[in-house]
């Protein structure tokens, strides 16, 4: 097959090119060269050209092909060199890519290790957090339990305190009741003492009054006695007055009747202390008795 190095490394059949829309890219002179597999009835058959023309064309074609081969060789070398260079570059790129891939892989591995480490760290952290939460939960539960116990102790303490308070209040009420009873008893005793005192005072007062009455009575009696004595004295005085008056009258009568009475009789009456003499007559005797009464102390 003809090689068109300017356009394609390997030239396909024109029909294939025409079907692909690429026929116009092949040089016009190449359309008249026989190609393997062409139809013998085609307008491009060699019988249409002269032999000379064909030889000349063949030489030119040989030269051109030689040039093309040389150019192709050069270009092949260049291409080879280019391919080698490209291969080196490709190898370098591949190597770089492999290195890059290796770096990326290393990076991915590193990232994976880091991620794994982070995950592990995260798992550890989560585990620590979980452990911490559990610990916190245990502590919280412990605090709650302690709080419940403390609350229970406080409640028990409050109840105990309440019971003690109730007991103290009850004791206080009892004590107050005892004190009240005692005060009442004391009051009753005091009242009793006061009553007793009042009674005693009353008795004393009554006694004093009685004493006073007695004293008053004694004084009254004394006054009466004094009065009686006074009356008696007065009576005595009256009697004395009366006697004196009687005596004066007797004296007066005696003076009047002195002529009838003997001197010895009068003397006898005076000297005998009023005992009288039995030898006198009745008139003289009555006079003697009256005189005797006046003489008596």
Task: Tell me the pLDDT tens digit for each residue of 185-194.
Answer: 888 888 887 7
Mean pLDDT in the chain?
A: 70
Q: Does the global pTM surpass 0.85? A: no
Residue 201 domain-assigned? no
The total number of structural domains in the chain stands at 1
pLDDT band, very low/low/confident/very high, at 206 (cuts 50, 70, 90): confident
At residue 4, the pLDDT reads 46
Provide the residue range defining the domain that includes 286: 265-297
Residue 284 domain-assigned? yes
Angle between helices 51-256 and 282-295 (to 10 degrees): 140
At residue 24, the pLDDT reads 46
73: tokens are 């060789």
Residue 186 domain-assigned? no
Residue 294 domain-assigned? yes
Angle, alpha carbons 246-247-250 (nearest 5°): 85
**275 phi and psi angles, rounded to 5 deg:** -80, -20
Residue 168 domain-assigned? no
Spatial distance between the Cα atoms of 124 and 118, rounded to a whole number of angstroms: 9
Residue 41 domain-assigned? no
Q: Which residues, at least 6 apart from 288, have a Cβ–Cβ distance to it below 8 Å?
A: 269, 274, 276, 277, 280
pLDDT one-digit tens code per residue, 139-197? 888 888 888 888 888 888 888 888 888 888 888 888 888 888 887 888 888 888 778 88
Residue 91 domain-assigned? no
Residue 283 domain-assigned? yes
């Amino acid at each position: 097959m003809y090689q068109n190095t300017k356009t394609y490394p390997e030239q396909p059949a024109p029909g294939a090119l025409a079907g692909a829309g690429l026929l116009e890219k092949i040089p016009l002179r190449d359309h008249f060269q026989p190609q393997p597999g062409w139809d013998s009835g085609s307008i491009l058959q060699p019988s249409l050209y002269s032999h000379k023309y064909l030889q000349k064309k063949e030489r030119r074609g040989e030269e051109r092909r030689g040039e093309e081969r040389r150019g192709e060789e050069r270009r092949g070398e260049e291409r080879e060199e280019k391919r080698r260079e490209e291969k080196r570059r490709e190898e370098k790129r591949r190597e770089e890519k492999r290195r890059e891939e290796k770096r990326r892989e290393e990076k991915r591995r590193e990232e994976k290790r880091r991620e794994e480490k982070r995950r592990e760290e995260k798992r550890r952290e989560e585990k620590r957090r979980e452990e911490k939460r559990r610990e916190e939960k245990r502590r919280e539960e412990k605090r709650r339990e302690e709080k419940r116990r403390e609350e229970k102790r406080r409640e028990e303490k409050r109840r105990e305190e309440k019971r003690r308070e109730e007991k103290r209040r009850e004791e206080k009420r009892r004590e107050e009741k005892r004190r009240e009873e005692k005060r009442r008893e004391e009051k009753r005793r005091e009242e009793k003492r006061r009553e007793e005192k009042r009674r005693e005072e009353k008795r004393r007062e009554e006694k004093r009054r009685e004493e006073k009455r007695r004293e008053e009575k004694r004084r009254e009696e004394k006054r009466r006695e004094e009065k009686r004595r006074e009356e008696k004295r007065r009576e005595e005085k009256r009697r004395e007055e009366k006697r004196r008056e009687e005596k004066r009258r007797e004296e007066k009568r005696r003076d009047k009747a002195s002529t009838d009475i003997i001197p010895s009789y009068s003397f006898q009456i005076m000297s005998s202390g009023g005992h009288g003499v039995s030898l006198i007559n009745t008139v003289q005797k009555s006079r003697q008795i009256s005189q005797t009464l006046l003489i008596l102390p």
